[in-house]
Amino acid sequence: MDGMTPLGRLDRLIAAALLRDGRASWRRIAAVLDEPERRVARHGARLLETGAVRVKAQENPRNRAGGQSTFLRVRCVPRALPSIAARMAADDRTLWVSVLAGPSEAVGEYLHGHGDLAGVVAGVAEIDGVEQVDARPELRFHRTVSGWAPGILDDAQLEALRQSEDVSLAAQGDYRQPDATNRALISLLSDNGRATVDELAGALGTSKSTVSRRLDAAVSGGQVFIRAMVDPALLGFPVETVVSASARPRDLDHVGAVLASLPETRWAVDDGSCITAQLAHRDRDHLRTALSRVGQDAALTGLTVSPVIEIAKRSGVRYIDGEPEPLQP
């Protein structure tokens, strides 16, 4: 992770734009960045072709009856951490897996059906070197990785691309499961998050206007999340941490909002007893400054900070020897 060379100025800007809207056209990004469209298209295509940025579609686990997401903290014997994280990452039900120090843990997010959690926990618990498994329900996201805005683009540029994902998260109280057409649409996007409206309409046998309308509704309604996966180190933020912030139950929403307001926060989730968040920083001084802002909040009753020492999986992409696995031909 620390060995990744940060992207150049324009590539960082384009990657940040894709984080905000993974389906934004090169023309739109060029207008927002005030750069020539041809230059943006050339740089953007190279980012996608090399796998530095990968645009994927992730369906909401609630799209399937009884679908749930659970955060697992797996306490391990230190020597077994890499192999345990690799086993967790190989499970198709994990979205991401990280290795932490202080204490030695492998942590990850599992997407599973109702009634399957016992099997998930039992399967992890039987891996050699596992000492303890702590499963926490993901009840409310205050920030997801699609909402991460690390300060590379200004607020006006971000809003010109797409409204904050926090708006979509707030609207998910009105969530509705997708119909058969939307399920087919989401499946197509899972193969290629930047598939054109023409390509999607042709595959579905429907009009471009229908596809556009349905896609907008599916994204805004939380049926599907368009994820641009880019390693934070490539953007100049190689130091990652997982933070657990505790508060009285009535103050959890407030603490979650405080963490979500930090530009360093990539995601933040409420499990009913604490807020867990993953942050990315330029260096340790940047980390200290961010934590001091959180620590000053009167509602906070405790704060645990664990350095991320290895990534095993990120946004569905497995890592091998510290690098994302090569793109499939």
The tokens 């989730």 sit on which residue? 269
CATH class of 141-153+231-307: alpha beta
Residues 6+ apart with CB under 8 A from 242: 98, 100, 107, 276, 277, 278, 279, 305, 306, 308
Residue 98's alpha-carbon distances to 23, 72, 88, 224, 305, in angstroms, are 27, 11, 10, 24, 14
At the topology level, CATH places domain 62-139+317-324 in: Alpha-Beta Plaits (3.30.70)
CATH topology of 62-139+317-324 equal to that of 141-153+231-307? yes
Helix, strand, coil shares, percent, the chain, to 5: 45, 30, 30
pLDDT at 2: 46
Residue 4's alpha-carbon distances to 97, 230, 327, in angstroms, are 19, 12, 17
pTM, two decimal places: 0.92
Distance CA 93, CA 90 (A): 9
The DSSP secondary-structure symbol of 77 reads -
**In this structure, are strands 105-112 and 274-281 parallel, antiparallel, or unpaired?**
unpaired
pLDDT at 132: 97
Spell out the domain ranges in the chain: 62-139+317-324, 141-153+231-307
Write out the two tokens for 274.
């604490």
pLDDT at 145: 86
**Residues of the chain falling short of pLDDT 50:** 1-2
